[in-house]
Amino acid sequence: MENADIEQKVAGHYTQGNVVNRIVEALGLEPDKQGQVSVETLFPVDQLHHGGVALTEKMAEHAGMCTGMKVLNAGSGIGGAARFLVDRFGCEVDAIDLSEEYVSSAQALDKFVGLTGRIMHRVGSVTELPFPGEAFDVVWCQNVTMNVPDKTAMFAEAYRVLREGGVYVLSHLGESKRGTMDYPLPWAMTAETSFASPPDTMLQLLADAGFHRVTNHGPDAPSPPLPSSPTGRPQDMFAMGDDMPQRRANVAHAVADGRLVPMLITAYR
Ligand SMILES: C[S@@+](CC[C@H](N)C(=O)[O-])C[C@H]1O[C@@H](n2cnc3c(N)ncnc32)[C@H](O)[C@@H]1O
């Protein structure tokens, strides 16, 4: 399949049709309370990656986030991490995602928490970034790489837009052995759009792109919780689909028996 066809399929995978309405209804957000909702209120529904906000916090710690940093949220979903980074660190955040619905949902959710205009959201691909070189201190990328076949292009673009000394921080789930996964998974219903490169390949591709100090902090990061865990029930089905409990369970079992390896990577330009 051509790259453009894959991206079209991936964008379709992340299109539900009614994300914001479902979130508004589930959380009981009243339209006249726009601007008065806390960023934390949205955490159960807007962190579309294993480990929820605990993973986001751990990534911020490893990336050394601090006040005023310029961040590109690459594959930003419905804007969960972008809002976290603005709210917690006062970062300046640009966000880009393939899914038009996710981008408009992110903008609608920004309004509820009073962050309208603070995050520049746009539709686009991490393999062809519409930004000048050396524009960011941090490129932040959570659970996106498993949908991207051309990681050489993706990593080259991250390298190009980072300033010297800037950090690329990624979370990823890597297949230890190709062809052993049970589908559906959160990021793909079949193997056709799953590109969960093995851990060693990820680290090598980052080094090949020119990054240095490429480090996996995976063992220090929150793992996908087992379905029986009380923290294993994020409300990500509004953005991701009603079968998310099954898809998350497939991930949790694959992590538990070593077929999938959770990674938290930092790499410096
Ligand atoms: C599992 S979701 C994670 C969303 C967000 N990073 C988060 O953790 O909340 C994967 C996201 O990657 C986006 N994505 C996948 N391939 C992409 C690409 N080539 N360019 C931009 N976004 C992409 C999808 O549209 C989706 O929003």
119 φ, ψ (degrees, to nearest 5): -120, 130
Spatial distance between the Cα atoms of 230 and 219, rounded to a whole number of angstroms? 21
pLDDT at 224: 73
The burial of 147, by beta-carbon neighbours within 10 Å (0-12 exposed, 13-18 middle, 19 or more buried), is given as: buried
Per-residue confidence band for 231, with pLDDT thresholds at 50, 70 and 90: low
pLDDT at 33: 77
pLDDT at 229: 58
Report the chain's mean pLDDT, rounded to a whole number: 94
Ligand 1 centroid – CA 185 distance (Å): 14
Mean pLDDT of 238-262: 94
> In 176-259, where do the E strands start and end?
212-216
Per-residue confidence band for 226, with pLDDT thresholds at 50, 70 and 90: low
Q: Which residues pair with 216 in a beta bridge?
A: 265
The ligand 1 site (C-beta within 6 Å) comprises: 7, 10, 14, 47-49, 75-77, 80-81, 96-99, 102, 125-127, 142-144, 147-148, 186-187
pLDDT tens figures, 87-144: 999 999 999 999 999 999 999 999 999 999 999 999 999 999 999 999 999 999 999 9
pLDDT at 230 over 60: no
Mean pLDDT of 46-59: 95
Ligand 1 centroid – CA 186 distance (Å): 11
pLDDT tens figures, 63-84: 999 999 999 999 999 999 999 9
Q: Which atom of ligand 1 is nearest to the CA of 47?
A: 9
Spatial distance between the Cα atoms of 219 and 197, rounded to a whole number of angstroms? 18
Pick the CATH number of 3-268 from 2.40.50.140, 1.20.1260.10, 3.40.50.150, 3.40.1160.10: 3.40.50.150
Distances (CA, A) of 39 to 43, 83, 168: 7, 7, 24
Q: Which atom of ligand 1 is nearest to the CA of 80?
A: 9
Cβ density class 103-117: b for 16+ within 10 Å, e for less: bebbbbbbebbebee
Q: Which residues pair with 263 in a beta bridge?
A: 172
pLDDT at 31 over 90: no
Mean pLDDT of 242-266: 95
Task: Report whether 91 contacts 169 (CB < 8 A).
Answer: no
Identify whether 184 is preceded by a cis peptide bond (ω within 30 of 0): yes
Mean pLDDT of 212-239: 80
pTM to 2 decimals?
0.96
